[in-house]
């Protein structure tokens, strides 16, 4: 009731609402575009946007070993969103638009460059086997490797000439992949170090969208090696590959530490 005896004035007409940001618009799931080993990609009503659903399925050794890992989809969706937000805040362009449910990301649809980019800080896994470097040996500088993303060929290690000859990427794109991957390492390695986690190595995928190269896919304990700095305990998919047990607990531990360190700066 108006205290001065006057009628309350009508509220001004609300300004026309700004068009919703993509993450605020309810994304409508369309047909399933692609089901991979760890995620499903759904089309949406916008041809430029996809919904990525993180599954509990785990595979290793080229799909020979398979299992369901309880909570993995939910944890990976949360962990990957956290890393994409952190990287976005530090100027790394990516496909990530937002997390729209417990296990779904809204992402920009890209044409995936069929070159997987691996960055290694510490020897582990295939580099230890191939080059005889003891697991755990710190490398003198971050090593970048390219793998041809082709399931039938079992994702072979390739060099720049191979990638260009195969038509997988141009020379200019390879330069960008390398620079972006090293930039990601330069952000994630010290960030994780502050959480007591050694970033041993990781795999990235990139895609083309509107003439730009965007970091895509996921950054999770499925695609990274994370070791506890004190114990060197594996907090990643090696627990599944090597039957170490405690897979869900390890992913939960990574998520717990990330939540203690905000992604935005
Ligand atoms: N933004 C994107 N647009 C289109 N495809 C994407 C995008 N991000 C990731 N992908 C592709 O979607 C698939 C994700 O499913 P995943 O289960 O990880 O597949 P895979 O079995 O190949 O590892 C991968 O092939 C990945 O390259
Ligand atoms: Mg994958």
Same fold, 28-108 and 111-245: no
- CA-nearest residue for atom 8, ligand 1, is 217
Determine the Cα–Cα distance for residues 195 and 172; give it in Å rounded to an integer.
Answer: 35
146, pLDDT greater than 60: yes
Q: Is the CB of 110 under 6 A from ligand 1?
A: yes
CA distance 246 to 227: 14
For the sheet containing 49-54, what is the strand order?
32-35, 39-43, 49-54, 104-108, 96-101
Q: What is the mean pLDDT of residues 161-181?
A: 98
Boundaries of every domain in the chain: 28-108, 111-245
pLDDT value of position 26: 75
Share of the chain above pLDDT 70, in %: 90
Pick the CATH number of 111-245 from 3.30.460.10, 3.30.70.330, 3.30.470.20, 3.30.1200.10: 3.30.470.20
pLDDT the model gives residue 16: 56
What does the CA dihedral 91, 93, 120, 38 come to, rounded to 10 degrees?
A: 140
User: What is the structure's pLDDT at 193?
Assistant: 98
pLDDT digits (tens, 9 = 90+) for 200-220: 999 999 999 999 999 999 999
CATH H superfamily, domain 28-108: Phosphorylase Kinase; domain 1 (3.30.200.20)
Distance 79 CA to ligand 1 centre (A): 17
8-25: average pLDDT? 53
Q: Is 124's pLDDT higher than 80?
A: yes
d(CA 209, CA 255): 30
């Amino acid at each position: 009731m108006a205290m001065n005896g006057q009628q309350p004035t009508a509220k001004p007409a609300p300004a026309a609402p700004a068009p919703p940001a993509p993450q605020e618009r309810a994304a409508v799931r369309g047909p399933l575009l692609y089901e991979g080993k760890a995620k499903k990609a759904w089309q949406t009503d916008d041809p430029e946007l996809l919904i990525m659903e993180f599954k509990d399925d785990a595979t290793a050794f080229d799909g020979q070993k398979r299992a369901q890992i309880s909570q993995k989809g939910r944890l990976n969706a949360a962990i990957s969103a956290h890393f994409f937000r952190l990287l976005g805040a530090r100027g790394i362009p990516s496909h990530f638009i937002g997390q729209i449910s417990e296990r779904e990301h809204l992402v920009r649809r890209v044409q995936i460059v069929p070159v997987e980019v691996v960055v290694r800080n510490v020897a582990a896994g295939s580099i230890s086997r191939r080059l005889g470097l003891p697991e755990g040996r710190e490398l003198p500088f971050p090593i970048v490797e390219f793998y041809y993303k082709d399931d039938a060929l079992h994702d072979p290690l390739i060099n720049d000439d191979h990638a260009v000859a195969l038509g997988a990427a141009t020379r200019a794109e390879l330069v960008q992949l390398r620079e972006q991957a090293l930039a990601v390492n330069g952000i994630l390695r010290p960030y994780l170090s502050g959480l007591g986690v050694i970033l041993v190595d990781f795999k990235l995928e990139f895609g083309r969208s509107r003439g730009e190269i965007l970091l895509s896919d996921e950054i999770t304990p499925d695609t990274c090696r994370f070791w506890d700095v004190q114990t060197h305990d594996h907090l990643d998919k090696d627990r599944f590959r090597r039957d170490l047990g405690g897979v869900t607990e390890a992913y939960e531990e990574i998520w717990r530490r990330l939540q203690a360190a905000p992604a935005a700066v």
